[in-house]
Amino acid sequence: MIELIPAIDLIDGKCVRLTKGDYDQKTVYNENPVAQAKEFERLGFKRLHVVDLDGAKSKHIVNDQVLRDITQATSLVVDFGGGIKTEEDIEKAFHAGAAMVTVGSIAVTCPDLFLSWLDKYGADRLILGADVRNGKISINGWKEDSEEDLLPFLKKYIDHGVKNVLCTEISKDGTLAGPATALYKRIMAEYPQLHLIASGGVSATEDIITLQEEGIPAVVFGKAYYEGRIKNLTPSPSPKGEGSGQILQMNAPDFPQINGQEFPQMNAQEENVSTPLSLWRGAGGEASLAKRIVPCLDVKNGETVKGTNFINLRSAGDPVELGKAYSDAGADELVFLDITASFEGRKTFTEMVERVAREINIPFTVGGGINEMADVERLLHAGADKVSVNSAALRNPQLINDITDHFGSQVCVVAIDARLDPDGWHCYVKGGRERTDRGLFEWAREVAERGAGEILFTSMNHDGTKNGFANEALARLADELPIPIIASGGAGKMEDFRDVFVQGKADAALAASVFHFGEIAIPDLKQYLRNEGINVRI
């Protein structure tokens, strides 16, 4: 059981990541950290690790207003670090909504002061930060190395009641080179009572699984998520009474009352309660994250429609009513596509997006007619969590970079409508009406390189036929690309969904008519997939 904790590092009020603690090697992943925090909450996370890098450099809290905005906009339990040098800093962090604060440098330079804080605030509300470089504790935003050796440093405070330690191997941080697993194992072997939070170097889902298998209690990750290397993080409860797999679940600590408020007690000796976030280990031993079932609302003139091979459209109902029904039925996400917006040269129905967003509580992707950053901002403000770009991205690939640089890769879904023609797979635009000179796989690789968070691939040959997905092309995309693939086009029966996850290696399956017209019920589909040994949220 490992606790999964996403991270937001702040510079100038923006969500960034450094490489090896070097402020000159900075990448901005989202200019709106509150939106990023809300996305983590939507994914099912309960904890968030926030680091004030400006504060660490300035030796006092700088981004407390951003912290306050995050805690007011979400119900996440936030631990906050960076620039905690005085009791005033601690009070400021708690006043801004932090449940816990991480203290590093002061524990090295002023041990008596840190011990006084332990006495005053309690070990449940303080996390000891142990930033390590060449076996020595580093301080002041990693700009200076102390003479403190790691294990004696930890022992000194464990003997005074410290329970929570955040250990970052600086040489690994931001490199995507894999975590310092051997170091964390050594700490846990020496101090098994600790709630150790591993930080630095996580590059993929497999790294998290390795840490869990080595008995590491918790892990913080950031860059790997932002760059799409941790795939398909979806809430997923453990199956009951099934022997086909083993759930590897995130731990949720008990919440004791402290001064009339609930804060997490990270005592590794106490029994924890499982939360919905999980990794699934199938019968064959393979590890994967939950697969997603995604209904799609193709909207024309304010009405949901569906056709075959992108033509012969027929009415399927009101988008708002359908969206609410799918949210209530357990869909993992909802996609809204204004399918004639690009062809007709107009904007997506913002009012309709707002109405749908008010009725659902699942991630919401909106596409159609998005040509510029103002369109993205308008739709996100209307309630979308992600935007899907297609024709505009092919005309102006820089739009992908602009969206990901400004809002983060998780906001940018690139839709690719492609047809298998006699001369191979080719991309189409304007609702499938116009062929381009771009090949499917060539364009998909460029999309991933430009930072998109996901690809929504629709096979025009399969769309509406109910004869199954384009599994061969999907499997090639999954093998060649580091980002999640959403499969679209061809769903007709439950077995098609099984096949697209097993044969097509898709991360999510999108469908429309089989859901709209009651041919497949989402709860029944998910139970079928779970019985087939496929990890889905039920």
Single out the catalytic residue among 298, 332, 338, 499.
298
Residue 463 is a catalytic residue? no
**Which amino acid is present at 537?**
R
CA distance 128 to 106: 10
Calculate the dihedral angle through the C-alpha atoms of 172, 175, 179, 182, rounding to the nearest 10 degrees.
-40
Residue 298 is a catalytic residue? yes
Is the sign of the CA dihedral 107, 109, 111, 116 positive or negative?
Answer: negative
DSSP state of 290: P
Q: Which residue has the tokens 């008519």?
A: 513
DSSP state of 409: G
CA distance 68 to 34: 10
Single out the catalytic residue among 417, 463, 496, 507.
417
Are 290 and 326 within 8 A, CB to CB?
Answer: no
C-alpha pair distances (Å), 397 with each of 151, 339, 368, 500: 50, 20, 16, 28
Q: Which residue has the tokens 């995130």?
A: 250
Q: Which two tokens stand for residue 113?
A: 């002061």
Q: Which residue has the tokens 């670090």?
A: 81
Three-state DSSP class for residue 434: strand
Burial 49-72 (b: 16+ CB within 10 A, else e): bbbbbbbbbebbbbbbebbbbbbe
Which residues are identified as catalytic?
298, 417
